[in-house]
Structure 1
């Protein structure tokens, strides 16, 4: 949607210590380009553009200065440590403390601004850590990330910030250490651990390395090695045309590695603006709207794209949402005016609605001033939550937004793992890809934020169908390599409604099921068929598992959870109210599930989720069987008809026919009459296997109004679907009177 153009960033006026440092550097290198890069790095990474005497900056800067002073005063260099409480290698804490001290040195208002003693302490600390841990030739034991990204990025950041206070000899030694652990060949082939977010981080390290020694060759490499990140991929790590972002080959990761990638790119764009290495590529602009925004709700990033990091700490989803917002605001400075205005409205809307972890209150100082200006600008109107459906078939994820509520679906496929575990994290996320259906109604934005993951029953995640066979911690291969063998995972959407399906195999289980979700105007209709298992254990479908102590009403055919929503259920509904403890927290849960028995043979289910519905509305829906009709629920076909919407939605697991629809091969179909004499037919090939598909819709079609298909009467032929990577195709027709 954008023409290729050079990214431009309106200059942020350097003031106070930043400006003084820039002038002081003038005598240390003749290369003005690198002087500007270092100055811009300080402005972007440490923060600028605010009054250090005004709150909340005054208090924050004073606190930063206090921490830096404590670090300086307690530094006690020895062979085994730099600080006595951080024994080497201390990959995270020690470099981070040095960077904190460097920030206190360059920022006005810390009480240590320009303090030569503090800068000398940072320089001594960097060199001490370099000699005893990060020395050229040292054995890079443990996680590669510390040696190639985490440690060098922090040390180089601190070194660049203190500038000439790091003398020539230790500067050269740090350069040699970085070159040893991050040789240029790491930015050669785009594979392994040098892809997507990791590649951006490695490029950022290379750029800092270039700034440290004014090395244009390293700057050239840092920028040129970014180019593979901007290419759409069809497998493995990176951005896909449907908006998916994958890291670790099998894991949708907008909410962790994706945040790192977006933040790193926007920082590089801003720092390199106006330099000989200015970056130019519009893919990142599209990624904001197609890859990141769909998974941010009211300022929180949904857990279904956060990989193994979901249980690290409470409200981690809000923290990642805030980081995405900060990156978008920085990127907005280099975006076209219309795009920037739209993003400002979107981020302001997130901030206004984020009452559980207020965005402005928790914003880091480097972004606080930018966000505060937008919040105070009456001309920027907070955008409401969008309405519509986003289906990302290449990452087996879907998000459905309606006025007042939102639902999101997490599935596993032959290319996407059930879950990711690694480094001892997320060891019980086994079933998050078994059709976990997240949903938020008004007033419940913290549903999955507040200690949900350490306290929820991992065998009873909402929406999933699972064997109750006990699994060991970390079951299955690590790093997301827990894929199912099945290709039919995805669906069809017209951007408003959707038919989504998953052919599911249980993790380390014989359980198999065919699951469909039909996302409608005020409901999600959930169907299951062919549920079969030989584990010798019970199989359950979890209608819901809400972290709440709200009253639950249960009547034949329906249930209602006060303040949350309702459920219309066919068959006996089991319920449980319990208080669960984990990770040092205790939380109340209400669980509703369907028991398919031990080793079921072709069991099924039908239930409807009504987010935000009142008890009266739920009761009325249960008493209105004509609201929608289940047309089929089998291992061949699952379909519903909704007369009020003029909608027939079907997932064809095999070729077949139902009602007015017939399909020549497995596919997903939405047929919708609009009441104005027009209709749309939307299809997709979730298996990405079809050269040709014919769909017959036995309605009197007068003619085609648009769409990529051949029509013969009421039969439509769609070609080369396999190349569309599961994306939907919509044709519009005029119906005969």
Structure 2
């Protein structure tokens, strides 16, 4: 760690006033030397942050990675061909029609690609073991490339076109990295030119207000540009501006972009983005905190602790055995395989695991500036994720940069760190309409949409068919099985109208239907639920995207199952309406076994079947499905072919085939009151599934109507009800819409959790026809509690609780 600076250095680098300088007691020449030392120290620190440390270049996996880096850099050097509109023949930045936004986006992105390639070459020049370390020809190529891009496109007289991100974040970040790496070989006049270009595209006003494109992860990226501009150009004011401009990122927000008290993270105003923009924010803050730590510009805002708290509160809940859940990755789910090569020459490959690994690396880096206890816990979390990611081992992830790889290798090799197991429990995130449920051996998440949270995000030609990902999609993963369900080309090959768990009309939707950047949101408020931390009642009032579809959907998340209910399903689109019970990606082979009520179905594709009166089904190696009382379910095994370019205009055009096993309930073309009921049992064997189906007393469906949905599981002491309109269900009566969960325990106590998902109830009365002798714990929102032969709970104004659960503990009386 860089040692704390002296008072003299502090005065020199933060002052900017004659008084501050004169009071330092240094002669002018000494002052200049001290300033040079200060910026040199920051340059050295940034080199370490972007090149990595603590690894041997002759040991694997670093030896091979460094050799590959060198090979890529050699190819980039040899193919560089400066021309008026390009630096390499395959990427042109000369936009022939700047008024055409989509094409302009591509040309502006090529500016970023040009600098990214120079960054790759600079790293190969600076890193040991690349075969090009200190190579004079490579150095000449880098300097030629920098000069070319400045002269031709990225300079102070150039007007912006295409995507703002390219000019304000993408290009300057790579440019400034190269300036740091090649600093000793760049004339001061050229450094001044490049700084002037950055100042043109990223003026101080870029962080003048916390609005528009200067919020959340984007603000962190802009601060990184300003800080490095200050480091490269010797400007204390720029570095101070960057450090100070981070402060608006830290506090909890109540709307728009940022972190919420319930652990939600939003970017682009309406999009849950923990796993994509959230990763950028976490990684960027980690680097800036590390860069400035111990300097005169150290980030000292006490509210940065909110970011540290969010590691376990916001990010860890969405990481499972190394992957980051797709439900919080926005349009990034469509970036599986790019049509163009990355700057290191490899095809850009991204999936839930490859998005998770940089988050893990960021957590390790952030831990260096956290408390010792936090750092120890986080390293334990990361070590557990590393060990359990058998599908895509992080230490073999070619998309992870050397710095990230070195951090994860350090944790893996640290004998003092004990791997932390995946937790069990339920987390609700009402501020972004998401929920996660974790049990021994598996995890699940639910993605919904409401008047604040978009159906899905598309933009920049990405995620063109993610229309129904917010229509109650139920993801689930096993610990040592089915962990690549959404990783293995799922998104370009799955039927986008049959995503697991959703209810949707098959009305044909156009690519990017609803508008870019999360523009479309349903006009509904009842989305959320109640949880005791282990189990939950979750509900969604669903309105279809550009559809007349309406439905009430509930999930009751239990110990070894999730009970799924649907009711009030209506639609007049004239297209089929379906609820997808399951749609498993079986990979290229797809010979997984499938049986219904004990009868095996063919293991070869394709086939379709109508399962009339089905009571249970089982997919080998995945899990079981129980249909209480029997149901008519359609099933099919099919091979589907797609291309990444189908869902992302920048995606690869090579056809991909995957086999799927799908089960769905067909509600017809004009349902007036469609319903469904099934229980998902991840990891269950066929025998366990059959036994659960045969146990008629295990589950009691108390209600499944447009007004209420509820279940009881006596063996668990569980009762869960979603009151869409209030009313009576079983032993519970609610005066207004709410979500309720009751967990009765063997010690004669019970926990009652109540929430107001609509955020609209100014009063609520809940009556439970169960003897209760005392209330032992209560929230401030509970204004009255009457015990005795029944329990009557009266709540005051719940509209300000943001859908959070209100927990009451009671001592049960004699029945």
| TM-score bracket relative to the smaller structure | over 0.9
**1:263 paired residue number:** 283
Mean Cα deviation higher: 422-431 or 322-331: 422-431
Cα deviation for residue 115 of structure 1 reads 4.2
Distance 1:40 1:117 in 2: 26
CA shift for structure 1 position 364: 2.8
Taking the aligned partners of 1:720 and 1:120, their CA distance within structure 2 comes to 69
- From 690, 705, 721, give the equivalent of 1:634: 705
- Please give the per-residue CA displacement for 1:577-614, whole angstroms capped at 9, x wherever unaligned: 10000112101101101111121101111111111111
CA distance in 2, matches of 1:133, 1:122: 16
Name the residue aligned to 1:4: none
1:379-422 deviations in whole A, cap 9, x for unaligned?
32222211000110111111101111111111111111111111
Q: 1:309 aligns with which of 328, 332, 337?
A: 332
The CA distance in 2 between the partners of 1:33 and 1:625, in whole Å, is 74
- Mapped to 2, the partners of 1:718 and 1:165 lie a distance apart of 70
CA distance in 2, matches of 1:51, 1:259: 27
Query: Is the deviation greater in 701-710 or in 141-150?
Result: 701-710
Please give the per-residue CA displacement for 1:421-478, whole angstroms capped at 9, x wherever unaligned. Answer: 1111111111111111111234110001100011101111110111111111111121
Distance 1:309 1:56 in 2: 27
Q: TM-score, normalised by structure 1?
A: 0.94
Per the alignment, residue 205 of structure 2 pairs with 185
Residue of structure 2 in register with 1:321 after alignment: 356
2:419 matches 1:348:
no
Give distance in 1, aligned partners of 2:533 and 2:616.
29
Partner of 1:380: 417
SS of 2:123's partner is helix
Contact 1:532/1:601 (<8 A) preserved: yes
Cα distance in 2 for partners of 1:405, 1:119 equals 51
Change in 2 beyond 3 A, CA 1:672/1:236: same
Structure 1 segments (4+ residues) deviating >4 Å:
8-11, 26-29
Task: Work out which of the residue numbers 57, 60, 84 in structure 2 matches 1:52.
Answer: 57
1:15 alignment partner in structure 2: none
Matched, 1:562 2:635: no
**What TM-score results when the alignment is normalised by the length of structure 2?**
0.85
Deviates most, 687-696 or 37-46: 687-696
Q: CA RMSD in A?
A: 1.8
Mean CA deviation greater in 680-689 or 548-557: 548-557
The aligned residue for residue 40 of structure 1 is 45
Runs (5+) with no aligned partner, structure 2? 5-30, 94-106, 338-349, 598-613, 644-654
The CA distance in 1 between the partners of 2:40 and 2:451, in whole Å, is 50
Q: Distance in 1 between matches of 2:518 and 2:309?
A: 26
Residue 176 of structure 2: aligned partner: 156
Q: Which residue of 1 aligns with 2:593?
A: 551
Are the equivalent residues in 2 in contact too, given 1:120–1:166 (CA < 8 A)? no
Contact 2:358 2:404 in 1 (8 A): no
Alignment partner of 1:393 is 2:430: yes
| Larger deviation, residues 658-667 vs 483-492 | 658-667
Q: In the alignment, which residue of structure 1 is the partner of 2:395? A: 360
Would you say the 8 A contact 2:564–2:678 is kept in 1? yes
- 3-state SS, counterpart of residue 689 of structure 1: coil
Cα deviation for residue 54 of structure 1 reads 2.5
Give distance in 1, aligned partners of 2:227 and 2:425. Answer: 40
Deviation of residue 58 (structure 1)? 2.6
Which residue number corresponds to residue 579 of structure 1? 639
**1:359-438 matched pairs, under 5 angstroms:** 359-362=394-397, 363-438=400-475
| Deviation digits for residues 687-708 of structure 1 (CA, Å, limit 9, x no counterpart) | 1112332222222222222231
Given that residues 3 and 294 in structure 2 are in contact (C-alpha distance below 8 angstroms), is that contact kept between their aligned partners in structure 1?
A: no
Q: Do the aligned residues in 2 keep the contact of 1:28 with 1:164 (CA within 8 Å)? A: no
Moved more, 201-210 or 652-661: 652-661
Residues 1:489 and 2:527 aligned together = yes
Report deviation, 1:524.
Answer: 0.6
Work out which of the residue numbers 724, 727, 732 in structure 2 matches 1:653: 724
**8 Å contact 1:413–1:486 — kept in the other structure?**
yes
Q: Which runs of 5+ in 1 are unaligned?
A: 1-7, 12-25
Residue 261 of structure 2, aligned match among 234, 241, 244: 241
SS class of match (2:509): coil
Deviation at 1:167, TM superposition (A): 1.2
- SS of 2:412's equivalent in the other structure is helix
Cα distance between partner residues in 1 of 2:465 and 2:370 = 41
Query: Equivalent residue of 2:583, what SS?
Result: strand
**Contact 2:702–2:712 (CA<8 Å) still a contact in 1?**
yes
CA distance in 2, matches of 1:51, 1:553: 52
Cα deviation for residue 28 of structure 1 reads 7.6
1:665 matches 2:736: yes
Q: Contact (CA 8 Å) 2:244, 2:299: kept in 1 or not?
A: no
Deviation at 1:106, TM superposition (A): 2.3
Give SS of 1:686's match: coil
Residue 479 of structure 1 and its aligned partner are, at CA, apart by 1.2
Work out whether 1:201 is the aligned partner of 2:221: yes
Is the 8 Å Cα contact of residues 10 and 334 (structure 1) preserved in structure 2? no
Structure 1: distance between partners of 2:407 and 2:463: 35
Kindly indicate whether the alpha-carbon contact (under 8 Å) linking 1:126 and 1:159 is maintained by their aligned counterparts in 2.
no
Q: Aligned partners of 1:175, 1:681: CA distance in 2, in Å?
A: 60
1:67 to 69, 72, 78: 72
Counterpart-to-counterpart distance in 1, 2:756 and 2:299: 37
1:719 match: 796
> d(CA) in 1 for partners of 2:82 and 2:633?
64
The alpha carbon displacement at 1:86 in A equals 2.7
* TM-superposition CA deviations, 1:82-141 (whole Å, max 9, x none): 223332352232101111122123223333334455444323321210110111121211
Contact 1:523 1:608 in 2 (8 A): yes
Pick from 221, 226, 235: which aligns with 1:215?
235
Give the corresponding residue for 1:736.
Answer: 813
